[in-house]
Copies of this chain bind each other. A is one copy, B any other.
Amino acid sequence: MVSIKDVAKEAGVAISTVSKVLNNYPNVSEKTRKKVMDVVDQLGFVPNAMAASLSSKKTGRVALLIRLNLSTQASDEISMQYITGAVQRAKELQLDVITVFTSMIEDMTAAEVTNYFESQGIKGIIVYGMTTRDKIVKKLIDSGNFKMVVIDAPMVNRTTSSVSIDHKKAQIDIARKTIQENKCKKILYIAGEDDGYVTAERLEGIRELCAEEKLKLTVRKGHFSELRAREITMRYAKSNDCVVCASDLMAIGAMKALIDMDIFRPVCGFDGIILMGYVGKQMNTVRQDFVKISEEAVEELGRLMQGQEGRRVLMPHTLVRIRYEDIII
């Protein structure tokens, strides 16, 4: 393995000079800079990241903390897009990411998790799918030991930023569109999980809309489960004229139930997953760009690691209808 020493020798300069060139120090003559860079290119030298971080106490390592909800198709799709966005942007920012699933740390204490991450040289963490019950993540955030970015949870402090779409507004937008298109009066809302931060925000949205528009609102908890949504629809759809769901998966469950019941009710979902194109009936849904959200999270983490303070970052959403013709490739 070619080291900085080899480069120094070959270029006829001191190790520290090579280091300075590599790290863009100001006080290096253009001549030596070029000489060094030539040798670097010639030898194909790439600094040993381990040694560099050991010496400088700085690393570019960040962890992606991902909750594997269930093995539903939907969450796989979303998780993969999160990972894709993060890994790509990280590469561009010269960061390297390691992927960690919450299941792997859930039997550790916060101190153990901290030690583990620190031993791995991890300086930043992006949290996907945090719930109100995540005590360990909460402690990590409060400790200030790591720079953190939390997706979809309103955690902000000096070392923590949040990145998400405006869930409340998105829920209002998609529900209003669906309701207006079909002139609905009685809304069945199938909500998500109690412990999800987004559940509360979306619920607030639909409540506000229904109050404003003087619509009758029935709320049931679907726990982001397709099956539960199906059951709820079977039971309550007849006495309502619209089914608003807090996730696409639940919207699919509801729609399939309606088909089986042989009645029509407009249904809208949330997330914009491709699966929506396979159900047969088109539905309105909120499209979140999970890749972009994750890219932005990495970028925000980069800013935090450069000393900036935590803040709330809002990402745009769009209203779409996913058709089979659009997704088939």
Chain A residues with a Cβ under 8 A of chain B: 1-2, 44-51, 53-54, 59, 68, 70-73, 76-77, 79-81, 83-84, 87-88, 91, 96-101, 103-104, 111-112, 115-116, 118-121, 225-227, 230, 252-253, 256, 273-275, 278-280, 324, 327-329
Q: How far is A115 from B70 in the complex, measured between Cα atoms in Å?
A: 38
Cβ of A43 to closest chain B Cβ, rounded Å = 9
Cβ of A103 to closest chain B Cβ, rounded Å = 8
Set of chain B residues within 8 Å of A77, measured between Cβ atoms:
73, 76-77, 80
Q: Is the CB of B72 within 8 A of A88?
A: no
Q: Is the CB of B275 within 8 A of A73?
A: yes
Secondary structure type dominating chain A contacts: helix
Which residue from B50, B88, B99 sits with its C-beta under 8 Å from A87? Answer: B99
Q: How far is A70 from B327 in the complex, measured between Cα atoms in Å?
A: 11
Set of chain B residues within 8 Å of A256, measured between Cβ atoms:
324
Given A73-B77, A121-B49, A230-B328: A101 touches B115 (CB 8 Å cut-off): no
When C-beta atoms are compared, the residue in chain B nearest to A145 turns out to be B1
Q: Is the CB of B120 within 8 A of A96?
A: yes
Given A80-B76, A100-B87: A119 touches B49 (CB 8 Å cut-off): yes
Q: Is the CB of A120 within 8 A of B49?
A: yes
Q: Is the CB of A1 within 8 A of B118?
A: yes
Q: Is the CB of B121 within 8 A of A46?
A: no
Cβ of A317 to closest chain B Cβ, rounded Å = 18
Q: Is the CB of A50 within 8 A of B54?
A: yes
Which residue from B72, B81, B98, B118 sits with its C-beta under 8 Å from A96? Answer: B98
The 10 closest A-B CB pairs, nearest first, are A46-B119, A76-B80, A46-B115, A73-B274, A80-B80, A50-B50, A278-B278, A76-B77, A50-B54, A227-B328
- What 15 new A-B contacts, CB under 8 Å, besides A47-B119, A50-B121, A84-B101? A1-B118, A44-B115, A48-B54, A49-B121, A51-B54, A54-B54, A70-B329, A76-B77, A83-B99, A91-B104, A97-B99, A225-B329, A227-B328, A256-B324, A275-B278
Q: How far is A84 from B79 in the complex, measured between Cα atoms in Å?
A: 10
Set of chain B residues within 8 Å of A97, measured between Cβ atoms:
98-99
Max chain B CB contacts within 10 Å: which of A96, A103, A329? Answer: A329
Cβ of A278 to closest chain B Cβ, rounded Å = 5
Which residue from B81, B83, B227 sits with its C-beta under 8 Å from A329? Answer: B227
Q: Is the CB of B99 within 8 A of A226?
A: no
Set of chain B residues within 8 Å of A54, measured between Cβ atoms:
48, 50-51, 54
Q: Is the CB of B328 within 8 A of A46?
A: no
Set of chain B residues within 8 Å of A324, measured between Cβ atoms:
256
